[in-house]
Amino acid sequence: MNLVIDIGNSKVKFFLFENNKTIHKEICDNQDFKKTLDSISNKNNIKNVISSSVSSNYDLYIEESLNNSKYTSLSNDNLLIPFKNNYKTKKSLGQDRIALVSSAIYNYPNQDNLIIDLGTCITYDFVDSNKTYHGGAISPGFKLRYSSLNTYTSNLPLLELEETENIIGSTTNESIHSGIYNGVIAEVNNYIDLLKKEYPQLNVIIVGGFSKFLLNRIKNAIFANQDFLAQGLNYIINYNENR
């Protein structure tokens, strides 16, 4: 049994895999990480464990808590990943992005894949059909756009994300919603269109907590479930075990 841990900015997701299938999922707040990990490890016979983090580093605690399990660290320079990494600053490539690219290769092999993750930031990652990762782009996510308008202006309010059909806002609030919501959609669609000029058979995969707000607004895209990143991490475990 493999334990996969996805550590975000505010939440931690735990996944138990057996025979490449998710058999258990659990989510907790970051402050409950240690308690939840201990509970899961005490109840299950875990052979392998791997984690991806965009915030706190719990490597040492995980290794100590699951000392009878093999820990696969994404920070290990000797770790094998299932793609050729052409990113110029390899050490700065986020662990979540490594996991997402690995999952794209696992789920959609031999394709030109673009993975778009709509979280705190919007990340774009491109891996070609030869399993070569080229990089991508990073831009502010929905919440960052709302908070920046409020933080860096004198009079604009802090709003929560709302979907809108309106292009023209008739109030300040409506104008903010239109600018941010339609702006993100335009950005995503434009990025896809530009990349498709070079890779016409591009497979577009959209993930992340805010992806639901783009349903039916992005053409010919796959909206992946919350297991997608975890599948990539589980694939990395198996990839290293088989070598």
Q: Which residues are catalytic?
A: 96
Give the residue from 141, 103, 102, 108 showing the smallest Cα distance to 122. 141
Distance, in Å, from the CA atom of 83 to the CA atom of 95, rounded to the nearest integer, reads 14
9-20 core/surface letters (b: 16 or more CB in 10 A; e: else): eeebbbbbbeee
N-terminal to C-terminal alpha carbon distance within the chain: 18
Distance, in Å, from the CA atom of 78 to the CA atom of 94, rounded to the nearest integer, reads 17
Alpha-helix residue ranges (DSSP H) falling in 108-209: 142-151, 172-198
Alpha-helix residue ranges (DSSP H) falling in the chain: 33-43, 59-65, 95-107, 142-151, 172-198, 228-241
Any long-range contacts for 142-149 (C-beta under 8 Å, 24+ apart)? 142/118, 142/180, 142/181, 142/184, 142/210, 142/213, 144/120, 145/180, 145/183, 145/184, 146/176, 146/180, 149/176, 149/180
Which one-letter DSSP state was computed for residue 153?
S
Specify the amino acid at residue 240: N
